[in-house]
Structure formats: C-alpha cells, structure tokens
C-alpha cells in the first residue's frame, strides 16, 4: 500500500498547481509594479521644458578673446586716425585764417 492512489496523486498535483499559481501571480505582480515605477519615473524626468545648451569649449573662449583683442586694437587705431584728422583740420583752419587776413590787409592797402 505504499503506492499512492489516483486520488492522492490528483490532490498533490492540485496543491502543486495552486502553489505554482501563487508564485506566478506574485512574479507577475512584481513585474507590473516594476513597469509602473519605471513609467512613473520616466514621466517625472523632464522637470523643465527648455533645452539646456552645452557650455562653450576652451577653443571658443580663446577665439572670443582674440576677436575682442583684435577689435580693441582696431578701435584704438581708428581713434588715432580721427584725432590726426581733427588736428589736420585745425591746422588747415589756422593757415587759411592767416592767409585770409593777409589777403584782406593787401586789399585794404590797394595792392
């Protein structure tokens, strides 16, 4: 009588199926929870709507610095040219005024 009866076999199979079903249900529930958590994290990730721009590289900063230096030298040279032009106009005015006075004196003397 050591051999199990068909009823005992069926009862053992039912218990095993019930245990497997609970384990499978727990596993599926864990997978669903993991999916929900991942979806929730993905939905919360974009906190702001704008796009962040990457910072400038060292080469870009060097190029900007060189451009500023070249521009500063150009402005300095332009300022010197304007000053030289102003001095030239002043000298021309003084010379022309002297010539005009000489001409007026000669006209009054009758030359």
pLDDT of amino acid 44: 61
What is the value of pTM for the model shown? 0.45
pLDDT of amino acid 79: 97
- DSSP secondary structure of the chain: --SPPHHHHHHHHHHHHHHHHHHHHHHHHHHHHHHHHHHHHHHHS---SSPPPPPPPHHHHHHHHHHHHHHHHHHHHHHHHHHHHHHHHHHHHHHHHHHHHHHHHHHHHT-
Q: pLDDT per residue over 1-57, tens digit each?
A: 577 777 677 777 777 777 777 777 777 777 777 777 777 766 565 667 777 788 889
Structure tokens at 93: 């005015």
Residue 51, class by beta-carbon neighbours within 10 Å (0-12 exposed, 13-18 middle, 19+ buried)?
A: exposed
CA-based torsion, 29, 34, 37, 38: positive or negative: negative
């Amino acid at each position: 009588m050591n051999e199990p009866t068909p009823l005992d076999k069926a009862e053992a199979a039912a218990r095993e199926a019930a245990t497997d079903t609970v384990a499978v249900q727990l596993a599926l529930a864990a997978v669903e929870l993991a999916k929900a958590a991942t979806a929730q994290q993905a939905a919360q990730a974009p906190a702001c709507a704008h796009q962040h721009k990457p910072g400038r590289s060292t080469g870009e900063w060097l190029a900007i610095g060189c451009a500023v230096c070249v521009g500063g030298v150009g402005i300095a040279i332009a300022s010197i040219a304007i000053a030289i032009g102003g001095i030239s106009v002043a000298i021309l005015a003084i010379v022309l005024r002297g010539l005009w006075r000489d001409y007026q004196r000669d006209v009054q003397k009758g030359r």
